[in-house]
Amino acid sequence: MAVDWAGLRRCANRQHDLLTLAQCRAAGLGDRAVQWRVRSGRWVRLHPRVYLTRPGRSEWIVTASARLLSLQRDPVVGDVAFCGRSAAHLWGVRPQPPPRLDLVVPYTRCPRPIADVAVRRSMRWADLIDDRAWPWRTTLPATVLDVAADGSPTDCLATVARAVQQQRVSVAELRQELARRPGHRHGAVLRPALADVADGAQSGAEVLYLRDVERAHGLPRSVSQSPSDAGRRRWHDHEYTAYRLIVEVDGRLGHEQWADRVRDGRRDRLLLGSDRATTRVFWADVAVTPCRTAHDIAAILTARGWAGRVRPCRRPGCGLGHGRV
């Protein structure tokens, strides 16, 4: 059987100069020929049955792909893929390579423990993996939500917002993936943040502001959707008319464009010229830290003449009214 050298080279080029013993055998290269290449220094054995055909390469993508190939059972169809922070680095969502490899395999597999490698099993293998990208990895929406599950709710929102802002994934794709994960660690925060809101309707962030910031802490009642005479925006989210304070609730998740920010800044300056101040709150402010946000709004209102007193809400640990935030 003639060796398919062209096919082997194409395979190695695709796999960052890596080949497996099964791929060599399928191309007609016998075990003795492979061993000779290793002994002569032409190839380097990185793992059992995994070879680097261009010695000297030590980049993360090479060493990580070699580990992936070493755990692959099927020589044709991948049954192991990157997930979590490893997949996020491959997709370009996280610039730095992770210190530990995160891999996922079908639920039917039970791989042995490996140092510095975290392997999880999934029953959703068919729709979880993007098999068009190599090294194989979880889809972009799945990857973003995996990474978003780590850390605090604020970190979760920041991760999702950054991915959307960079146009790597759409809100619709994230919502579809989140629907498959009823037990997502930060799902209660993410679901309203990703909700589509019809034109003219209050956003989820505005609802949270009224419920968890304003009413829960005894702030004066604001006027919602008050008319605006500054800039192109026709309405203000919430206005405390007696105290000349406007609170804009920015529920956009990753869609902020430079032109929008410039326009918002000009509108704020115009309002200051009429002795009306504007402050802005964001998703994390109303969904994650509403008590702290209520403290900040109360301080602004007090400075502008409000004689009321903020009160603690029913959230555990809310220190408002007791000198704690």
Distance between CA atoms of 225 and 253, rounded to whole angstroms? 20
- Distance between CA atoms of 240 and 302, rounded to whole angstroms? 12
Start-to-end Cα distance in the chain: 76
Burial class (CB in 10 A: 0-12, 13-18, 19+), 159: buried
The CA distances from residue 230 to 249, 261, 280, in Å, are 17, 15, 16
- Predicted TM-score (pTM) of the model is 0.71
What six digits make up the tokens of 8? 């082997």
pLDDT at residue 232, as a whole number: 46
pLDDT of res. 38? 97
Compute φ and ψ for 323, nearest 5 degrees: 80, 5
Structure tokens at 296: 């900040």
* pLDDT averaged per 10 residues in sequence order, the chain, 325 residues: 90 96 94 96 96 96 96 77 96 92 93 89 92 92 95 81 80 92 91 54 68 92 66 65 90 56 58 73 86 93 94 85 52
Structure tokens at 61: 């993508």
129 — phi, psi (to 5°)? -100, 135
* pLDDT tens per residue across span 240-257: 999 999 998 876 655 455
Q: Are 17 and 52 in contact (CB under 8 A)?
A: yes
Single out the residue of 304, 313, 314, 235 nearest to residue 276, CA to CA. 304
C-beta separation of 142 from 128 below 8 A: yes
- Which letter does DSSP use for residue 156 in this model? H
